[in-house]
Amino acid sequence: MNQPIEQSMDRIATAADSGLHSLVNGARQRSKRAAQRVTAGKKPLQALAGLGLKLSAVSHRTTDRILKQQTALTANQLDLIALRFESAADASCLRDLVKKQIRLTPEQLSRLGRDTRASFGIVLDAGSEARDVVADTLGSLRKPRKVAKAPARKAAKTTKKTVAKASKSAKKTSKKVVRKAAGKTAAAADKVASAS
């Protein structure tokens, strides 16, 4: 065959082979990076699954405590209602009935307030516990951030500007004070001169 044609075909084949190899190598590298990302994605997945379990445990504990508290609240209110019925049964007249019912009101309100505060305390405890669980989980997932420090030159420059402004302000203030004092002194001298 023709020598230049063979050389051209060899160059084309070599270029095609080289392009194919670089394409395959690039695909391999991208596949490796994708595999690393998928593998790295297991840690957040496990952390989020753990978060779900921990939040579920907080929810169950809170529900248990709330149910116990509501049972106690209901029992306390039933005791107070029974006490009101007993005092109503023991009343000799309408005036006596009203007095006894009025005497029971502060105790009933006080007990209701204590029970309500206890219920809110349970909910607040659960909220802070859930917040801590979420914060810990998110903290473990985040990469530590680098704190940017201001260069020493910038800090020195800022300090220098602040000192210059303060000095300028002090000069203006002292000039005003001197002018006022000079004006008062001149006014006093004019008064003395006009008085004599």
Q: CB under 8 Å to 28, separation ≥6 — which residues? A: none
Task: Output the pLDDT for position 25.
Answer: 82
Q: CB under 8 Å to 137, separation ≥6 — which residues? A: 47, 48, 50, 51, 54
pLDDT band at 20 (very low <50, low <70, confident <90, very high): confident
Q: What is the pLDDT of residues 62-119, one digit of tens each?
A: 999 999 999 999 999 999 999 999 999 998 999 998 999 899 999 888 998 999 899 9
Among 19-23, 40-44, 85-89, 145-149, name the most confident range.
85-89
In total, the chain counts a number of residues equal to 196
Q: Could you tell me if 133 and 58 are in contact, meaning their C-beta atoms sit under 8 angstroms apart?
A: yes
Task: Output the pLDDT for position 186.
Answer: 59
- Of 57, 44, 58, 49, which is closest to residue 140 (Cα–Cα)? 44
3-class DSSP string for 90-136:
HCCCHHHHHHHHHHHHHHHHHHHHHHHHHHHHHHHHHHHHHHHHHHH
Cα separation, 33 vs 194, in Å, equals 98
pTM: 0.51
